Structure 1
Amino acid sequence: MVLDRPRICKIIETEEETSDIKTLMFKDSYTSSSSPGQFVMIWIPGIDEVPMSVSYSDSTKCGVTVKKVGEATTKLHGMAGGDHIGVRGPYGRGFELKDGAALLVGGGTGLAPLMAVAGKLQQLSQKVNLVAGARSAKDLPFLNRMDSFPRHHLSLHFITEDGSLGERGLASDLALRILKKDESQNVYVCGPELMMFRIFQETEKCGSYIQASLERHMKCGVGLCGQCALDPRGSLVCRDGPVFSGTELRKMSDFGRFKREADGRKISIV
């Protein structure tokens, strides 16, 4: 299948989100047709291939947002317009957009797939509360993009750990206060797993519908290597996710507790 072979794409523009986070825009019809929450495998020739959430897609261009954390992402972050990357996918199951008011909660680069969700929900004239959190204002990506969103149905809520933008505290703190005001909101979350787990626990109490985008070490992206398996059911983040509903999360003993290292060892995240 063409989706499973890297397509060589030229970067057409970039945007510095923060000092260590950059969005790379390119043209690729397959990525442009992706659903919010799906991911692509980005090949950096001579270095590695890494999974990246699609952070932007329309009929003219698409994009991924990368944070410098290792050799491959540092190389990606250093790329500019005119450079080339390999792209395969999109893969996985994205967010299912529900009717009714929505609460979107993202931490740091976890905001990437939620940017597309917010845009789609606005097109559907759904009421949206978007909580964007980070350590500090200088660590929060997508500020320009969020500022450009129409405000007809969208309320933006910023929170930082040092109080440099919006409230001082954690994204989960603010999200839970907003949720308690209207428990009928559909919840979409992506970011640090302990943040997502805390919000999930609250939805279990109040009965709100929730979907969470999980992250695990991923090698193949197509369900062959089993590296991203979640116990005890063996659900694969690349194939069965990365987005899971509350019903599915409830059955995962790993969620909010354990993850696997690159060598397959299970370690605690608590």
Structure 2
Amino acid sequence: MDDLLKAIVLGTIQGLTEFLPISSSAHLRILPDWFGWGDPGAAFTAVIQIGTELAVLIYFRKDIVRIAWAWLRSLVKPELRGHIDARMGWYVIVGSLPIVILGILLKDTIESDFRNLWIIATTLIVMGVVLGMADRFGSTERGQKQLGLRDAALMGGAQAMALIPGVSRSGATISMGRALGFDRETATRFAFLLAIPAVVGAGVFQLGDIPGGDNPYGVGPTIVGTVVSFLVGYAAIAWLLNYVSTKSYTPFVIYRIALGGLTMVLLATGVLSATG
């Protein structure tokens, strides 16, 4: 299949899976192998994620502007520092630090060892169980106004686990949020906001690898894949926020465990290669 068509398919997969707690990076690693395309590489994966994060920026533009403005004003007006929007600015900054620091320190490992399909299949299953337990036993008594610095740091630490494909950035953050007693909508919305600096930063960090190197598709198909991921991702955000307001994460838990189990079977029977 032409690289451009492959990029469109992968962009669609990215847009559909980035915001669901099922790990977009795992799908971009597993499905191309199923199709016989090989590993698209960490650089291609990181850059097309910018498309879905652009969808977040546009979808939450009013929230982002309000939070950023309140945070900036609070720097010079102490009386505003207790406002939820000003505090949210600090929460996003603090929560972003773990994944930024570890992403830089573990760059080589992320691009090689962490992309082993045995690791990805295992994390799909393990983190699926974690998500299911957190959603089943976590209370829903806390909302956005109850979010604190400690909560942001813990959810940021959970998000950093998503450097391992299969964990899921949103899934790990939501799991921690639910374990801390936040309702599904609060945990999900904060996961979206927290992902913006991490994903945009990772994409920009990997831009230098696009004209060759770790990226097998080249500049043109990568741009197309990024645009497709934006369009599909924007629709996925609206759907997920509406879904979690009334329903549990159980279908995603079942899907994660099934995908991880099937991947292990295909690896054990030699249909898939762990290292591509």
Q: Same fold (TM over 0.5)?
A: no
* Structure showing the higher strand proportion among its residues: 1
What TM-score, normalized by structure 1, do the two folds share?
0.28
* Structure showing the higher helix proportion among its residues: 2
